[in-house]
A and B are shown apart, each in its own frame.
Chain A
């Protein structure tokens, strides 16, 4: 098995085992293919976002240049390059969600949380993000929290979602491999 190099306490033992198993899915010398899956893990392991230090560690782990990690992390929208709240609420704003009240839903979240998209509540509990089509248009409007889809959303369900995450006991961005 091709093992990740220079772990430097990037991953816990359990995640390290998973990371190495992921690397082994690609041909020898093609470990860079594991970059996106490993960035998902690194983000989960580091409070839901990717700092330059974490990205450098991923580069060392995969034996590639740091710039190769930066250019990928900045391209894909699921990677947060700034600290986020414990619960990241991603609201879809594309056509089919808009047709079914997505804009009103976003306004409701803004009002309830007192923040705009891209911002985090002062208590560090919630980050609000707008995202493009989540491919669940039949149950619009749709919101994603971690790997969970919340569909056919309305203000009442939004309030419930906020209540469920208000104790700050858990993070939404945990290891996505279940």
Chain B
């Protein structure tokens, strides 16, 4: 069995309660850190660990923390991004609902390192049932002295609160999240200034993903070097992969970075192969935003190397023949799935979720949805296919936040790798795979 950092106790009955969590060694990292370490020492361990942001961008967490403006005389905020909404991604939900204290312990450690006295867990409103689980766990942590005034007599005090969203994918973008937390529409801000300098209420702020934060207890307990010993050169530690679509065993799996994609798809320990003995057609490896790859390119790079679950291996070949690890939302399509229809659902998603600030995204996503609807319904033309590419190119890079890129990449990649299927829709004037 591969090393499990996040899910090792996930099936233990009663894990959501603090007693069971503590019995399994929970809150030991908080005890150790608050009694024996300084905030800077905590940050140094996180930097050493090589942990990269698990929300999708993969930015080194320790470096993100180092940007925090520590000179200005203002409160600092540490925020957990639990706005999990990227299609195909359901890892944070799994972790947060089954092991809430792990997230809370990570929040305490991160808040201590950054000098935050009030921290928030921003959770998408649809997941209110998990907010309730978290609030119960937070109450327990207060009663046990891990939150509140003068935690474990360390002199450090922290308040932790949950904050529900109202249903908006864009609030997973950190500046939109901050706007939303301030009680506004989730319109992303222009960067710079970055949240590390001007964040929540104009104060220095760090926003990290659930999975990133949940890694902190293990890193602080075992040391940054131990974490960095796991995984690959540029992808340290483990990663939660949420696998769905046409596989025999959908679910959330913790893999050590560097596991071969082929093993992940076909091993009974993970996805268990393609359902009904069908053939693998395509994979969207890191949530709906990342480029789709046909079977041959997700299993092997264009250089013939085995493709691995790591930031660097999945991106071999750039966008011509590679993709991204993204959020770890692993969507598998078998031979019965229509690429155009799948893409249409994504285009509709991004159109629905565009905040509307930037015209290339606001108008472009709706335009792409309409064209894809036309092609899927057999009323498209060859020109439509080129038009889609054209629109996607003019959205990409021309918006305040990455939602525009996220909407453009799936379209461009689907046409790059599956152009014939689009042409078939046009030629047959219907979906060749429609049932």
Q: Which residues of A are interface residues toward B (Cβ below 8 A)?
A: 25, 27, 30, 32-37, 39-40, 64, 68, 71-72, 75-79, 93-96, 98-100, 131-140, 144, 147-149, 176-178
Contact = CB atoms under 8 A, between A and B. Distances in A.
Nearest to A76: B166
A133 B349 contact: yes
Describe B's contact surface by its main secondary structure: mixed
B184 interface: yes
B329 interface: yes
Given A96-B245, A137-B88, A75 B342 contact: no
A25 B77 CA distance: 13
8 contacts: A36-B180, A37-B163, A40-B128, A64-B183, A96-B245, A137-B88, A137-B242, A144-B126
Contact of A138 (B126, B243, B288): B243
Interface stretch (B107-115, B140-148, B246-254, B293-301): B246-254
A109 to B, nearest CB: 18
B180 to A, nearest CB: 7
Contacts of A30: 182, 201
A133 B86 contact: yes
B366 to A, nearest CB: 14
A5 to B, nearest CB: 15
B244 interface: yes
Contact of A96 (B87, B93, B180): B87
B221 interface: no
B182 A32 contact: yes
A69 to B, nearest CB: 9
Contacts of B270: none
A95 B331 contact: yes
Nearest to A24: B161
B37 to A, nearest CB: 28
Interface size on B, as a range, is: 35 or more
Interface string B120-142: 00001111110110010000000
B183 A72 contact: yes
Interface of B: 75, 84-90, 92-93, 118, 124-129, 131-132, 135, 159, 161, 163-169, 180-186, 201, 242-246, 250-252, 284, 288, 329, 331, 333, 337, 341-342, 345-346, 348-349, 352-353, 355
A138 B168 contact: no
Nearest to B89: A135
A72 B185 contact: yes
B349 A149 contact: no
B126 A94 contact: no
Given A27-B118, A30-B182, A136-B93, A36 B125 contact: yes
A24 to B, nearest CB: 9
B169 A36 contact: no
Nearest to A34: B183
Nearest to B126: A134
A137 B331 contact: yes
A78 B88 contact: no
Contacts of B159: 25
A137 B89 contact: yes
Contacts of A99: 244-246, 331, 333, 337, 342
A33 B182 contact: yes
A118 B326 CA distance: 33
A129 B128 CA distance: 18
A96 B126 contact: no
A8 B43 CA distance: 49
A34 B284 CA distance: 37
Contacts of B88: 95-96, 133, 137
B242 A40 contact: no
B85 to A, nearest CB: 6
A177 B163 contact: no
A44 to B, nearest CB: 11
Contacts of B90: 135-138
Nearest to A74: B185
Given A96-B331, A98-B342, A138-B244, A37 B164 contact: yes
Contact of A40 (B125, B245, B348): B125
Nearest to B163: A37
A-B pairs, top 4 by smallest CB distance, nearest first, are A76-B166, A78-B167, A35-B183, A32-B183
Contacts of B125: 36, 40, 76, 78, 176
Contacts of B352: 77, 132
A34 B345 CA distance: 33
